[in-house]
Amino acid sequence: MSDHSSFDDLFDSQEERPQRPRRKKKVWRKILVALLVIVILGVLGVGLYLWNVGRTFDNNANKLTDEQIFGTERPDDQKEDGGTNILLLGSDEPMDQVDVNDSRGLRSDTIMVMHIPESGSNVQVMSIPRDSWVDIEGHGKAKINSALSTGGLPLAVSTISDFIGTELDHVAIIDFEGFKALTDSLGGVTVNSEQAFEKNGYTFTKGENVLDGDEALTFVRERKSFQDGDFQRARNQQAFIRGLTNEIISADTLSNPKKIQNMVKDFSPYMYVDSGLDAQYISATAFAMRDVRPGDIEFFTSPTAGVGTSSDGQSIVNVDEEELKKVQDAYKNDTVDEYVQNAPESHL
């Protein structure tokens, strides 16, 4: 699949300069694959239903083999590094039409690394800009999302593992249909839009908007209506995940086990996960995180040094290598929460 294939708008040039988000707003980065976070949040407080919800996910989600994802055996969950790192990839290509045995030619618009510390007291999710200019083993410098296109999932996993400086324990992929299914399963989601705009026949006002699945999909995908393009799209995605999380952990949802069961059943068929992300793991993780609430989840972006142009004319995002070393140390030492609290505001 070429850069002009059916991955809608994923490879357009990123020439806009990023705006600095305000730290106090608890920035929410990229929605699509963060639905795995929602799986965990959704079963918090469900008590006796934990296992059943996890089993529903286990029975409906699509399992990928270790070889398909890692190229070898899955990393040992008991590695010396503290905490758990989960790679979350988002795709608007219907995954049931993708040959996961040869995923070369694909690119992921959304790349996130979710860190669950050993204490289970909070969660950090780092978004990696798709155009980040990095080293890809055997291929020199390239955009980080091209690793999937060049060498399939194993190369993408190893490239992102090198980027964070430690192993990835699990991998999850979700496509847009799952995103729509979850939104509709909840009966809609209320989001706060920073700007008014129109797209695909939908009108979004500045302030609160109640969105169904199709409207939400337009809201989080649109970028051409904004002066700063991809960066406003990211902020819209942040607004949506905040609204989605609030909806899922509301009293109306958590007090309705059937609603949670249906929610997980509706969107899990659109998820593709490694063999370790099963009912037992999700249930155990959810129980360990039973006291986590939205304010305990920090979303941030990997350190960047502005946009630029590669020697072959590509629009790229430069990586702040010095700050990245601090991020890598944080992932290695299970101190990502401390990094987020003390990082320069321009990198949040």
- Over residues 113-157, the pLDDT tens digits come to 989 898 878 888 888 888 899 999 999 999 998 888 888 889 999
pTM for the model stands at 0.77
Higher pLDDT, 172 or 110: 172
Fill in the DSSP letter of residue 73: S
Look up residue 314 and give its two tokens: 């590509």
**DSSP string covering 192-243:** EESS-EEETTEEE-SEEEEE-HHHHHHHHH--TTSTTTHHHHHHHHHHHHHH
| Range 49-347 classified under CATH 1.20.120.420 | no
Average pLDDT over residues 328-343: 93
- Over residues 76-115, the pLDDT tens digits come to 654 555 789 999 887 666 556 555 655 555 567 678 898 9
Q: Domain extents for the chain?
A: 49-347
Nearest-10 crossing angle of helices 35-43, 279-288 = 70
**DSSP string covering 272-336:** EEETTSSHHHHHHHHHHTTT--GGGEEEEE--EEEEEE-TTS-EEEEE-HHHHHHHHHHHHHT-H
Higher pLDDT, 289 or 346: 289
